[in-house]
């Protein structure tokens, strides 16, 4: 039966209800004319109608009357909420479960039967298949973007389609959560060190893409995945252009609009500078605990984007200098005056002095002061947030101000002679160790206030390379002194790979330039 | 899975999306509501000593109070929430019924509860509760093919116990459309499910 026939039946049934019983047969005869199928449908429905209300009421009572909580208690697990895709096989991918809860839209974990591995699947809006020109453009862009090979960009394995022509992207599967989920889990401002770390990794991804002339256009916390090891993976490169239609149309949720640049909000084309803006919004949200342009509906959000000048400094007076400047520069309304490339933001973030003191990643849990945001007027929000921040204890403290003795662990001490020399010139004693066991032997919890270590090194009698030696060291040291303070100074690659994990494990910081450590302990590096 | 503390924030965001007209958000809202219902039922286990004293509507209402900030709630947030809960309840019922159905048919050992023994072989007599739930779900799946809208209306009205007005708000329809669809869907379901009892004459 076609849709219009169904609507016709619906209408006839309603009209028949007003007609006296005696005249119904004539009504059916007249209205269904020479359509016996329609007549049969209408007649049987009319027959079923008089007692239907009572029947459905009774059925409801019998099937639902005793309540569902007994059933719920018996149900196996809360996490396997049913989903039509789960359990299906598309192409050679067996869809297992949803990734990242409800926050990620339609991303599923699936088993790749051909290559015996787990992957993530994302289905593309079904409209794409209707218009071949849109589809061609989408595929062209998605393929260009999938060529991006960067540790902070989600690897795209392939773009495939279901039997009925629905496109989907096959991506590497990571264990972790979206930045959106992480922000919501935190419920308030994020520790500066964590926010810097995450935004720096996003900036790395953008810088790499911008260098190849690829613009993301839809950078938002839902598209930023943070793995369990703290590595940021930017998702959906090259898909955003197809999302443009969604953004401007009715389907655009407030969540998407909130990260749009002013030029996007005006419907103008987006370029690298729009990505810079969106990163600025994310950084603001992480540091302030509220979105800079928070509104209940997209229209108001766009108004705010075009007119408001949110002031991060007023909300977080405790921030290290520099970071608020970067946010402000990224949130410059006029694209021409905004940093034009991810690289510029990355450099700015790298120059930001890291706050002292232990990173409170592990302690960053929802507190009683959790900010309830989103609906209130922005001005009021700013006030509330500012107040709650004023009463926040400054956990960063001045942990490293009085370091006088350092234990430095590196299998290749020549790397650091310049910095060690500077430390000594400032009256800081340095004990050096070549390996983890060497360091644990030399470590004196009373004497050494700070440990500086590389991450990977050649160790042991056989001289095998241990990529995570720094973590082993931290564990050994912590057994001796639970609040041991350690900074890793290591290769740029190891910094990218391990920084978030190290900070989550309680390291004070992770730097690729050892001179930064001098700044951390309050010394000014001198030229070498 | 979104963990418990983060759920109200996620629910608030999705309800906001729904208000903005992003209807797909309903699909994302539904697992959250499902999990909350599940947890509530589990917590009540000890307190309610196995008796289903609290009915479904009360359970949904409790989940609503827990997940939605009442100071910010509006009529349509409530309607959207209830629509997601209605879907959740349909799935809860059908999964449970199918599981029990499979267990009964499955070979090997199985536990037979006292009440079932007392009732006698339910297979031979009137269709069991499980069979009836499965039959209803199958009918609704057929209905969804014929009219997605009517299927959604049945979900809201039948499983969610929602009023015509709430259903209209949740689905973005006029109350007249909901009434018309509901009237036909009731008759259609009765015919499909083969109710043979004589109708009460109006």
Residue A483 covered by a domain: yes
Reported confidence tier of residue A346, pLDDT bands at 50, 70, 90: very high
At B103, the pLDDT band (50, 70, 90 cuts) reads low
Closest CA to A502 of A228, A229, A287, A286: A229
How far, in Å, CA of B83 to CA of B157, rounded? 9
Number of domains in chain A: 4
Rounded mean pLDDT of A149-153?
89
Put residue A161 in one of left, alpha, beta given phi > 0 → left and psi -120 to 50 → alpha. Answer: beta
Query: Does residue A78 lie in a domain region?
Result: no
Q: Name residue, tokens 């950078």.
A: A219
Name the DSSP class of A270.
Answer: P
Q: A164 and A189 share a domain? A: no
Average pLDDT over residues B150-166: 89
Q: Which helix (H) or strand (E) holds A488?
A: strand A486-489
**Three-class SS of A320-379:** CCCHHHHHHHHCCCCHHHCCCCHHHHHHHHHHCCCCCCCCCCCCCCCCCCCCCCCCCCHH
Kindly state whether residue A411 falls inside one of the protein's structural domains.
Answer: yes
pTM of the model: 0.43
Contacts 24+ apart (CB under 8 A), A460-469: A460/A435, A466/A436, A467/A494, A468/A498, A469/A435, A469/A436
CB-based contact (8 Å) between A249 and chain B?
no
Question: What is the CATH number for A114?
Answer: 3.30.200.20
Yes or no: say if A206 and A339 are a contact pair by the CB < 8 Å rule.
Answer: no
Q: Is A119 helix (H, G, I), strand (E, B) or coil?
A: strand
Minimal Cα distance from B4: which residue of A?
A: A185
Radius of gyration of chain B (CA): 19
Q: Is the C-alpha dihedral spanning A91, A176, A174, A374 positive or negative?
A: positive
A73-77, A101-105, A286-290: which has the minimum mean pLDDT? Answer: A101-105
Of the partner residues A3, A75, A366, the one whose CB lies closest to the CB of residue B92:
A75
How far is residue A442's CA from residue A444's CA, in Å, rounded to a whole number? 6
SS3 content of chain B, % helix, strand, coil (to 5): 75, 0, 25
Q: Do B180 and A49 touch (CB under 8 A)?
A: no
The secondary structure of B121-138, three-state, reads: CCCCCCCCHHHHHHHHHH
Q: Measuring CA to CA, which residue among A288, A220, A286 is closest to residue A258?
A: A220
**CB under 8 A, 24+ apart: contacts of A7-14:** A8/A38, A9/A38, A9/A41, A9/A42, A9/A45, A9/B184, A10/B180, A10/B181, A10/B184, A11/B180, A12/A42, A13/A42, A13/A45, A13/A46, A13/A49, A13/B180, A13/B183, A13/B184, A13/B187, A14/B180, A14/B183, A14/B184
Taking the Cβ of residue B122 and every Cβ of chain A, the question of whether any pair is shorter than 8 Å is answered with no
What CATH number corresponds to the domain at position A308? 1.10.510.10
Q: Verify whether the Cβ–Cβ distance A69 to B129 is below 8 Å.
A: no
Residues A240 and A363 reside in one and the same domain? yes
Which of these, A199, A235, A198, lies nearest to A218 by C-alpha position?
A: A235
Residue A19's pLDDT is 87
Please check whether residues A184 and A281 belong to one and the same domain. Answer: yes
Supply the pLDDT for residue A256. 63
Is some CB atom of chain B closer than 8 A to the CB atom of A184? yes
Between residues A207 and A384, the one the model is more confident about: A207
Q: Taking residues A61-85, what's their average pLDDT?
A: 60
Q: Which helix (H) or strand (E) holds B14?
A: helix B7-19
Contacts of B17 in chain A (CB under 8 A): 253-255
CA distances to A223, A385, A453 from A217, rounded to whole Å, are 11, 29, 39
How would residue A362 be classed by pLDDT, with cut points 50, 70 and 90? very low
Query: Does B39 sit within 8 Å of A81, measured CB to CB?
Result: no
Contact yes or no for A68 and B44 at CB 8 A: no
- Out of A359-373, A483-497, B23-37, B46-60, pick the least confident: A359-373
Place of tokens 């298949």: A129
User: Per the domain annotation, does A147 fall within a domain?
Assistant: yes
* Same-domain pairing of A259 and A208: yes
| Domain-embedded: residue A82 | no
Tell me, yes or no, whether A321 lies in a domain: yes
Q: Of A76-85, B56-65, B121-130, give the lowest mean pLDDT range.
A: A76-85
Q: Are residues A194 and A332 in the same domain?
A: yes
pLDDT of A415 above 90: no
Helices (H), A446-514: 469-480, 492-504
Q: What is the mean pLDDT of residues B134-138?
A: 89
pLDDT reported for residue A74 = 55
Domain ranges, residue A442: 405-520
Among the partner-chain residues A51, A74, A103, the one whose CB lies closest to the CB of B200 is: A51
Residue A28: pLDDT above 50? yes
What pLDDT does B69 receive? 75
Which whole-number Å values give the CA distances from A237 to A155, A182, A213, in the listed order?
10, 21, 12
Q: Which of B6, B127, B195 to mutate to test the interface with A (most CBs of A within 10 A)?
A: B6
A451 and A508 fall within a common domain: yes
CB A217 within 8 A of CB A263: no
Residue-wise burial string across A138-175, b where 16 or more C-beta atoms lie within 10 A, e elsewhere: beebbeebbebebebbbbbbebeeeeeeebbbbbebbe
For residues A193 and A337, membership in a common domain is answered with yes
Q: How far is B174 from chain A (nearest CA, A)?
A: 15
**Residue A105 shares a structural domain with residue A240:** no
pLDDT score of A526 more than 60: yes
Higher pLDDT, A274 or A363: A274
CA–CA separation, A265 and A408 (whole Å): 51
Chain A residues 51-70 with a CB less than 8 Å from chain B: 51-56, 59-60, 62-70
Contact residues, B window 169-198, toward A, CB-based 8 Å cutoff = 180-181, 183-184, 186-191, 193, 195, 197-198
β strands within A2-138, DSSP E = 89-90, 93-98, 107-112, 117-123
- Which residue has better confidence, A402 or A312? A312
Note whether residue A514 is domain-resident.
Answer: yes
- Per the prediction, chain A carries an average pLDDT of 77
Q: Please give the average per-residue pLDDT across B125-136, as a whole number.
A: 81
pLDDT reported for residue A50: 87
CB B193 within 8 Å of CB B133: no
> Using the beta-carbon criterion (under 8 Å), do A55 and B9 form an inter-chain contact?
no
Which of A99-103, A303-307, B135-139, B181-185 has the highest average model confidence (pLDDT)? B181-185
Please identify every residue of A annotated as catalytic. 218
Greater pLDDT, B128 or B72:
B128
Taking residues B66-90, report their average pLDDT.
80
Residues A300 and A419 in one domain: no
**Which of A172, A192, A211 is at the close of a domain?**
A172
**Among A61-75, A202-216, A498-512, B83-97, where is mean pLDDT lowest?**
A61-75
Q: Are A189 and A289 in contact (CB under 8 A)?
A: yes
**CA–CA dist B185, A5 (Å, integer):** 15
Number of Cβ pairs < 8 A linking chain A and chain B = 194
pLDDT tens profile A432-479: 888 888 898 888 877 788 899 998 888 877 777 888 899 989 988 888
pLDDT digits (tens, 9 = 90+) for B185-196: 999 999 999 876
Cβ–Cβ gap A59/B136 under 8 Å:
yes
Contact residues, chain A, for B86 at CB < 8 Å: none
Tokens of A480: 């001796």
CATH code of residue A501: 3.40.50.2300
CA distance B136 to chain A (A): 10
3-state secondary structure at position A220: coil
Domain positions in chain B: 4-106+124-192
Nearest to A63 among B25, B129, B186 (CB): B129
In this prediction, residue B185 carries a pLDDT of 96
Mean pLDDT is highest, among A518-527, B75-84, B177-186, for B177-186
Q: Is the pLDDT of residue B38 over 70?
A: yes
**CA B96 – CA A82 distance, rounded (Å):** 12
Q: Give pLDDT, residue A409.
A: 92
Q: Which two tokens stand for residue B6?
A: 């983060």
User: Within this chain, do residues A278 and A200 fall inside the same structural domain, yes or no?
Assistant: yes
Residue A247 to residues A175, A259, B21, Cα–Cα distance (Å): 29, 11, 12
Element (H, E) at A198: helix A192-211
Instruction: List the structure tokens of B151.
Output: 């299927």
Of A125, A142, A172, the last residue of a domain is A172
Task: Give helix then strand counts, H and E, for chain B.
Answer: 9, 0
Highest mean pLDDT: which range of A281-290, A295-304, B70-79: A281-290
- Among candidates A347, A258, A344, A354, which has minimal Cα distance to A304? A258
Q: Which two tokens stand for residue A272?
A: 């690298």
| Interface list for A 131-160 with B (CB within 8 A) | none
Same structural domain, A49 and A102: no
Dihedral Cα A79, A84, A86, A92, nearest 10 deg: -170
ipTM value, please give it: 0.79
pLDDT at A208 over 60: yes
Residue A387 has pLDDT above 60, yes or no: no
* Same domain, residue pair A19 and A118: no
CA atoms within 13 A on the CB side of B113: 7
Tokens found for residue B170: 């949740």
**Residue A165 near chain B (CB below 8 Å):** no
| CA–CA separation, A450 and A62 (whole Å) | 70
């Amino acid at each position: 039966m076609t849709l219009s026939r169904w609507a016709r039946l619906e209408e006839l049934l309603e009209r028949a209800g007003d007609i006296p019983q005696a005249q119904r047969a004539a009504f059916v005869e007249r209205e269904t004319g020479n359509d016996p199928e329609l007549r049969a449908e209408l007649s049987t429905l009319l027959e079923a109608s008089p007692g239907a209300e009572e029947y459905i009421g009774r059925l409801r009572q019998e099937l639902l009357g005793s309540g569902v909580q007994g059933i719920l208690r018996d149900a196996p697990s809360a996490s396997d909420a049913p989903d039509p895709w789960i359990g299906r096989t598309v192409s050679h991918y067996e869809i297992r479960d949803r990734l990242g809860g409800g926050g990620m839209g339609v991303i599923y974990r699936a088993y790749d039967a051909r290559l015996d591995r787990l992957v993530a699947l994302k289905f593309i809006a079904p409209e794409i298949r209707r218009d071949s020109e849109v589809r061609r453009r989408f595929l062209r862009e998605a393929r260009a973007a999938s060529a991006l090979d960067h540790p902070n960009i989600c690897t795209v394995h392939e773009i495939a389609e279901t039997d009925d022509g629905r496109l989907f992207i096959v991506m590497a599967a990571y264990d972790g959560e979206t930045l959106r989920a992480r922000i919501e889990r935190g419920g308030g401002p994020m520790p500066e060190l964590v926010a810097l770390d995450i935004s720096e990794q996003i900036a790395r991804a953008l810088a790499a893409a911008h260098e190849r002339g690829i613009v993301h256009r839809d950078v938002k916390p839902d598209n930023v995945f943070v793995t369990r090891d703290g590595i940021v993976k930017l998702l959906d490169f090259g898909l955003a252009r197809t999302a443009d239609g969604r953004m401007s149309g009715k389907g655009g949720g407030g969540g998407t609009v909130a990260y749009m640049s002013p030029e996007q909000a005006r419907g103008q084309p987006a370029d690298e500078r729009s990505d810079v803006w969106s990163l600025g919004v994310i950084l603001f949200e992480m540091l302030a605990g509220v979105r800079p342009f928070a509104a209940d509906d997209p229209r108001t959000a766009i108004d705010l984007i075009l007119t408001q000048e949110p002031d991060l400094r007023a909300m977080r007076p405790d921030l290290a200098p520099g970071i608020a400047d970067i946010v402000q520069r990224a949130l410059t309304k006029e694209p021409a005056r905004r940093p034009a490339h991810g690289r510029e933001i990355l450099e700015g973030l790298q120059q930001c002095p890291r706050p002292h003191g232990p990173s409170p990643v592990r302690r960053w849990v929802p507190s009683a002061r959790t900010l309830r945001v989103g609906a209130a007027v922005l001005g009021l929000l700013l006030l509330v947030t500012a107040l709650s921040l004023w009463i926040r204890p400054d956990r960063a403290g001045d942990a490293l101000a009085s370091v006088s003795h350092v234990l430095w662990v590196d299998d290749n001490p020549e790397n650091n002679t310049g910095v060690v020399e500077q430390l000594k010139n400032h009256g800081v004693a340095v004990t050096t160790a070549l390996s983890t066991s060497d360091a644990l032997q030399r470590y004196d919890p009373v004497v050494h206030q700070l440990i500086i270590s590389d991450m990977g090194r050649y160790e042991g009698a056989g001289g095998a390379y241990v990529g995570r030696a720094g973590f082993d060291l931290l564990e050994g040291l912590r057994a001796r002194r639970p609040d041991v303070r350690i900074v890793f100074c290591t290769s740029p690659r190891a910094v990218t790979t391990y920084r978030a994990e190290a900070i989550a494990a309680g390291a004070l910081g992770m730097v690729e330039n050892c001179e930064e450590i001098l700044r951390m302990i309050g010394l000014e590096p001198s030229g070498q | 899975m979104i963990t418990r503390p983060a759920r109200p924030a996620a629910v608030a965001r999705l309800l906001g999306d729904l208000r903005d007209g992003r209807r797909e958000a309903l699909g994302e809202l539904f697992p959250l509501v499902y999990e909350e219902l599940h947890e509530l039922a589990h917590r009540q286990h000890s307190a309610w000593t196995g008796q289903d004293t609290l009915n479904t509507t009360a359970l949904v209402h409790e989940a609503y109070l827990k997940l939605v900030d009442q100071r910010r709630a509006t009529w349509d947030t409530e309607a959207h929430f209830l629509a997601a809960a209605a879907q959740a309840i349909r799935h809860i019922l059908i999964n449970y019924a199918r599981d029990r159905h499979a267990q009964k048919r499955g070979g090997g050992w199985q536990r037979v509860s006292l009440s079932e023994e007392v009732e006698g072989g339910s297979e031979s007599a009137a269709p069991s509760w499980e069979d009836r739930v499965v039959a209803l779900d199958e009918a609704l799946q057929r209905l969804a093919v014929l009219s997605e809208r009517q299927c959604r209306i049945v979900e809201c009205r039948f499983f969610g116990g929602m009023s015509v007005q709430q259903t209209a708000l949740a689905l973005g329809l006029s109350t007249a459309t909901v009434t018309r669809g509901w009237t036909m869907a009731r008759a259609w379901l009765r015919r499909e499910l083969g109710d043979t009892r004589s109708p009460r004459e109006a």
